[in-house]
Amino acid sequence: MKQLGKQTWEFTTRPAIVGAAAVTGPEEKEGPLGADMDFSFDSLDMDEKSWEKAERKLFEKASRLALVHSGLEEKELEFFVGGDLMNQIISTTFAARRLGVPYLGTFGACSTSMESLAVASMIVDSGGGKYALAGTSSHNCTVEKQFRYPTEYGSQKPPTAQYTVTGSGCAVVGFNDGSRQGPFVARATIGRVMDMGLKDPFNMGAAMAPAAADTLTAHFRDTGLSPDYYDLIVTGDLASIGLPIARELLAKEGIPMEKTEFGDCGLMIYDREKQKYVIAGGSGCGCSAVVTYGHILKRMRRGELNRVLVAATGALLSPLSYQQGESIPCIAHAVALENGGGKA
C-alpha cells in the first residue's frame, strides 16, 4: 500500500472482493433494487423477540452468505471488520461472537460500510491476512427508536427526513493471487470530520453533504483523477436533500460531475413515488452496504460498470450529544472498486 496525498491509500496488490452478500427487510425487497438482493426477510421482526435481535439476525445471515459466495469455509476467514449504529455496536459484536475470528469493531455511522471495507483491504494488501470480512447493518426500528422516536409512536416527520434501511451488507476481501475475477479494491480515501453547525436529526442529508464533497475533493486531488474516470460515483445516503448540496459544493471546488453518472444509494434503494413513507430517501449503515454489495457488484460482474467510486457518509451524533444540544459532526469515506478491464 502507498499513500497518495494526505488522505488516500492506493492498494498495490489490488485485493479482490471474492464474495459478497446483501440481506434486507421486506420494504427494500419492494424497491427497484429488490431483485439484486441475495435474501430478503418477509417481516421486520424476522421471527425474533426484539428489533435488536432481528438486526443481529440480518448481519449473521449476510456474513454467512458472503462466505458461501466466496467459496471459503469459516476457518479460512482470518479477520472480521465491521460496525453498526447501535450503542457499543452490539449488532456487529454479537455477530462476531458467532463467527469466532479476530475482530475489529469500527464506527463511522452510515459511512461504516466503506470504512470497514477500507480497513479490511488494508489488512489484506499489507500481508496481515489473506481473507478479511467487512460488513455493517441497520434496522429501521432499532435506529428510529435510538435516534429519534420508536416506530410505534407514529410521530410526524418533516420533508427532509430519511428512512432507515433494514439491511446488512458483507464482503469477503481476499489476496490477489492473479487468478481473481474481481472486482478489486483499488484505492480508499479516508474522510475528515466536518461540522457545519446543523442540529436537526431529521435533516441528515444536509448535515452530511459537506463531508461527502470534502472527501470526494480530496480523492480527486490526491489521485489526480477526474470524475469521468469512473463509470459511476455514488454517495452513501444524502438522499434528495443532500445530493444537490454536495453537487453544488463540488462545483464550487471546480469539480464538475456532469460527465459521469453521479447518484446516491439512498435514492436508489427505494421508489419514492410508490414508497412515499421513505420521504427524502434511504439512510442507515445498511443503505450503502446493500446497494454496493447487492446491486453495484452485480453490475460490475456483468461488465456494465468497470470503475465505481462509493463515498459512504455518516452522521456521528449520539442520543446523548443530541440531548445536550450539540451540532452533528459528519464524515465520509470513499472506496474505489475496479474490474480488470478498461472503462466501459
Whether residue 130 is found in the same domain as residue 11: yes
Q: How far apart are the first and last CA of the chain?
A: 26
Whether residue 302 is found in the same domain as residue 154: no
Whether residue 95 is found in the same domain as residue 135: yes
- Asked if residue 294 belongs to a domain, the reply is yes
Q: What is the pLDDT of residue 149?
A: 63
Whether residue 70 is found in the same domain as residue 191: no
| CB-count exposure of residue 258 (10 Å: 0-12, 13-18, 19+) | exposed
Identify the segments of the chain with pLDDT beneath 70.
Answer: 148-154, 341-344
CATH number at residue 65: 3.40.47.40
Of the candidates 138, 82, 140, 88, which has an alpha carbon nearest to the alpha carbon of residue 112?
82
Q: Which residue has the cell 413515488?
A: 273
Q: What is the pLDDT of residue 342?
A: 38
- Asked if residue 83 belongs to a domain, the reply is yes
- Asked if residue 344 belongs to a domain, the reply is no
Give percent of the chain above pLDDT 90: 86
Whether residue 139 is found in the same domain as residue 239: no
Of the candidates 89, 91, 77, 84, which has an alpha carbon nearest to the alpha carbon of residue 113?
84
Whether residue 196 is found in the same domain as residue 310: yes
Of the candidates 219, 237, 239, 238, which has an alpha carbon nearest to the alpha carbon of residue 229?
219
- Asked if residue 343 belongs to a domain, the reply is no
Q: What is the pLDDT of residue 145?
A: 78
Of the candidates 166, 204, 234, which has an alpha carbon nearest to the alpha carbon of residue 317?
204
Tens digit of pLDDT for each residue in 69-91? 999 999 999 999 999 999 999 99
The DSSP result for 222-275, as a single string, is HH---GGGSSEEEESS-HHHHHHHHHHHHHHTT---TTSEEEEHHHHSS-TTT-
Its domain, for residue 92, covers 2-174
Predicted TM-score of the model (pTM):
0.95
- For 310, the enclosing helix (H) or strand (E) is strand 307-315
Whether residue 116 is found in the same domain as residue 88: yes
Q: Which of 112, 142, 174 is the last residue of a domain?
A: 174
Q: Which of 153, 174, 195 is the last residue of a domain?
A: 174
Q: What is the pLDDT of residue 22?
A: 98
Whether residue 305 is found in the same domain as residue 269: yes
Whether residue 163 is found in the same domain as residue 216: no
All 3 cell numbers of residue 286?
A: 445498511
Q: What is the pLDDT of residue 290?
A: 98
Whether residue 195 is found in the same domain as residue 330: yes
Whether residue 170 is found in the same domain as residue 188: no
- Asked if residue 60 belongs to a domain, the reply is yes
